[in-house]
Amino acid sequence: MGRFENLVIWQRARELAKIVHHTTRDFRNDANLRDQMRRAAISIAANIAEGSERISRPDFRRFLSIARASCGELRSHVHLALDADHIDQPQHLELIDRCSRLGRRISAMITWTERT
């Protein structure tokens, strides 16, 4: 697969993790949600990286599937953050959109690995 740093999905996951980290800085009264959101975002990038370093395509697909599931987990946390008034509607929409787009990109990579 080459270097994971060259994968657009890893680059987008890294950007998302940075945004989540900054967005959750002020979650002082809800450290659990803050930590869960950060862990989910980190998990996306980490699983893409780990999977791309595996020898077999089935292993890569498995880790991509985990990364995609972490996108779903993060989306859920973003909704909860909105409900708890930790983020406003524009932040909510931005994070949901980024998670959704990244999830679609990961799905496309899974499909690509099945065909090649």
Q: What is the pLDDT of residues 76-105, one digit of tens each?
A: 999 999 999 999 999 999 999 999 999 999
Q: Answer whether residue 19 shows pLDDT above 70.
A: yes
Report CA-CA distances (Å) from 35 to 42, 45, 66, 67. Answer: 10, 16, 19, 17
CATH says 4-115 is which class? mainly alpha
Cα 31 off chain centre by:
19
| Of 21, 24, 71, 27, residue with least CA distance to 45 | 71
Cα 58 to Cα 39, 89, 102, 106, 107, distances in angstroms:
24, 39, 20, 14, 14
Q: What's the mean pLDDT in 7-30?
A: 96
Residues of the chain with pLDDT > 70: what percent? Answer: 99
Count CA atoms within 13 Å of residue 45 on its CB side.
17
Is the predicted pLDDT of residue 112 greater than 90, yes or no? yes
Q: Which distant-in-sequence residues (6+ apart) come within 8 Å of 70 by Cβ?
A: 40, 41, 43, 44, 47
The answer, yes or no, to whether residue 68 has pLDDT greater than 90, is yes
Domain ranges for the chain: 4-115
- For the cut 70, the answer to whether the pLDDT of residue 113 exceeds it is yes
Q: Global pTM?
A: 0.94
